Amino acid sequence: MNLAVAKAAVIETRGLGKVYSPGTQAEVVALKGVDLRIARGDFVAIMGPSGSGKSTLMNLIGCLDTASSGSYACDGVDVSTLDAEQLAALRRDKIGFVFQGFNLLPRMSALDNVAMPLGYARVPVQERQRMAREALASVGLAERAGHLPSELSGGQQQRVAIARALINQPPILLADEPTGALDSRTGEEILALFKRLRDADHTVIIITHDPEVARHADRIFMMLDGELQEQARA
Ligand SMILES: Nc1ncnc2c1ncn2[C@@H]1O[C@H](COP(=O)(O)OP(=O)(O)OP(=O)(O)O)[C@@H](O)[C@H]1O
Ligand SMILES: [Mg+2]
């Protein structure tokens, strides 16, 4: 990494907090004062025990949920100033998601699932199909384009979800346990794909339980009871 070049923050949170069901018996303090600064071209891993707040943070970074306290700037834009429509546009243009669980639509082919984020109006059908085929090929699934999710293995479904997240070439890729359902060889291929994205100046943030996976990232953060700390690298 060239430290002489100041890299712009794509993700910057200050004192970010999240409380679910505040003021009720079901209240859960899921995030506490998270300060996070991630630059363009960073490949970051977030680790931590189950229930520690990793997906909660991912949902906030991905503008799928709003914080209870603190601030978040996505690519320099304070998201608290945006209305629902502007947030949706920000998500569409800036962020690709790979969810924990794949969130594929069961009645659509792999190809149509991948093409979905392109929208119907914005890109002509031929172009959508071409881009979706290319994205599927990049995760090694060109031959499975016509299959339904139920006709694919868990690892293949995961790769379809990754292809879908990449179809718009989003500057930020968020992936919650992207290699969790994969055998180690396929996992390595996905990690290689993430590194290529990083090298092409995308920002990649993955959540993982696996230290072997996290090791591939440039920076590793640990979430414990809603508090985030960066690990020193050896
Ligand atoms: N929608 C919700 N309503 C209420 N509580 C929630 C909600 N989502 C998560 N929580 C709680 O917030 C805490 C953090 O959950 P989160 O899903 O962020 O954990 P995680 O680190 O992603 O865990 P895992 O590794 O199991 O996926 C947990 O105690 C969880 O029960
Ligand atoms: Mg989670």
Tens digits of per-residue pLDDT, 21-59?
999 999 999 999 999 999 999 999 999 999 999 999 999
List the residue whose alpha carbon is closest to atom 19 of ligand 1.
Answer: 51
Pocket test for ligand 1, best of 16, 32, 55, 58 (most atoms within 8 A of CB): 55
Ligand 1, residue 100: give the atom nearest the CA. Answer: 27
List the residue whose alpha carbon is closest to atom 22 of ligand 1.
Answer: 55
Structure tokens at 187: 């996992």
63: left (phi over 0), alpha (psi -120 to 50) or beta: left
Q: Please give the mean pLDDT across all residues of the chain.
A: 91
Q: Which residues of 179-189 are buried (b: 16+ CB within 10 A; e: fewer)?
A: bbbbeeebbeb
Q: CA-to-CA distance for 233 and 219, rounded, in angstroms?
A: 8
Pocket test for ligand 1, best of 21, 27, 28, 224 (most atoms within 8 A of CB): 28
Pocket test for ligand 1, best of 21, 34, 52 (most atoms within 8 A of CB): 52
pLDDT (mean) for 83-109: 90
120-160 pLDDT tens trace: 667 899 999 999 999 999 888 999 999 999 999 888 898 89
Choose the most confident range, by mean pLDDT, from 99-103, 147-151, 184-188, 197-201: 147-151
With a 6 A CB cut-off, is 52 part of the ligand 1 pocket? yes
8 Å CB contact between 168 and 115 = no
**What integer pLDDT is reported at residue 3 of this predicted model?**
52
User: What is the DSSP annotation of the chain?
Assistant: --TTSPPPEEEEEEEEEEEESTTSTT-EEEEEEEEEEEETT-EEEEE--TTSSHHHHHHHHTTSS--SEEEEEETTEEGGG--HHHHHHHHHHHEEEE-SS----TTS-HHHHHHGGG-TTTS-HHHHHHHHHHHHHHTT-GGGTT--GGGS-HHHHHHHHHHHHHTT--SEEEEESTTTTS-HHHHHHHHHHHHHHHHTT-EEEEE-S-HHHHTTSSEEEEEETTEEEEPPP-
pLDDT band at 193 (very low <50, low <70, confident <90, very high): confident
**What integer pLDDT is reported at residue 6 of this predicted model?**
59
With a 6 A CB cut-off, is 59 part of the ligand 1 pocket? no
224 CA distance to ligand 2 centroid (A)? 13
List the residue whose alpha carbon is closest to atom 14 of ligand 1.
Answer: 53
Residue matched to tokens 């690892």 = 155
Count CB neighbours of 26 within 10 A.
8
CATH number of 9-230: 3.40.50.300
Nearest ligand for residue 56 CA: 1
With a 6 A CB cut-off, is 28 part of the ligand 1 pocket? yes
With a 6 A CB cut-off, is 54 part of the ligand 1 pocket? yes
- Taking alpha carbons only, the member of 67, 87, 68 closest to residue 77 is 87
List the residue whose alpha carbon is closest to atom 9 of ligand 1.
Answer: 56
